[in-house]
Structure 1
Amino acid sequence: MKKEQLIEQAAHKMSQLPEAKIQEVSDFVDFLFSKIDNQILLDNAQQLSSESTSFDFLKEEEDLYSVSDLKDRYK
């Protein structure tokens, strides 16, 4: 079904609901929009942090210890 058809069908069904139930539907739609907004913010934050050079100094740090430094090796 196309988006327009789904909207028309939902609007037709909603018009038959009592006012309290229409308010619940409206609240649910608001909830869905907030989830979308939160996901967009999260995606943008992840992109910014992955593109950031703040922790590049950790990539250049040499290893302090190696396998030869172990006293006991896990079996």
Structure 2
Amino acid sequence: MTKQALIEKAVKVMQQLPDEKAVEVMDFAEFLFKQHEESQLRKDIHNMVSNGKTNAFLEEDEELYTLSDVKEPYNG
């Protein structure tokens, strides 16, 4: 069933419902839409952070010390 067919069927059903029940259906549809938006936003943020180079410097360990920095060798 296509999206348009589903919409048309939902409209027909809602037209037969009492006003209070139609409001409940609309509230639920809005709830589902907000969930979908939030899920999509989380995915987009995750992709942006994963593919971005903002934190690339954290992946590379900076060489802080070399052997020439050693003053006394450890003979433990």
Residues 1:57 and 2:53 are matched in the alignment: no
* Unaligned 5+ runs, structure 2: 63-76
* Unaligned 5+ runs, structure 1: 63-75
Shift of 1:47: 1.2
Q: In structure 2, how many angstroms separate the alpha carbons of the residues matched to 1:14 and 1:22? A: 6
Aligned to 1:5: 5
Shift of 1:30: 0.6
Shift of 1:43: 1.3
Larger radius of gyration: 2
Q: In structure 2, how many angstroms separate the alpha carbons of the residues matched to 1:53 and 1:5? A: 44
Instruction: Normalising by structure 1, report the TM-score.
Output: 0.69
Identity level (%): 39
Task: Render the CA deviation track for 1:20-68: whole Å, top value 9, x for unaligned.
Answer: 1100100011111101210121111101111232332332227xxxxxx
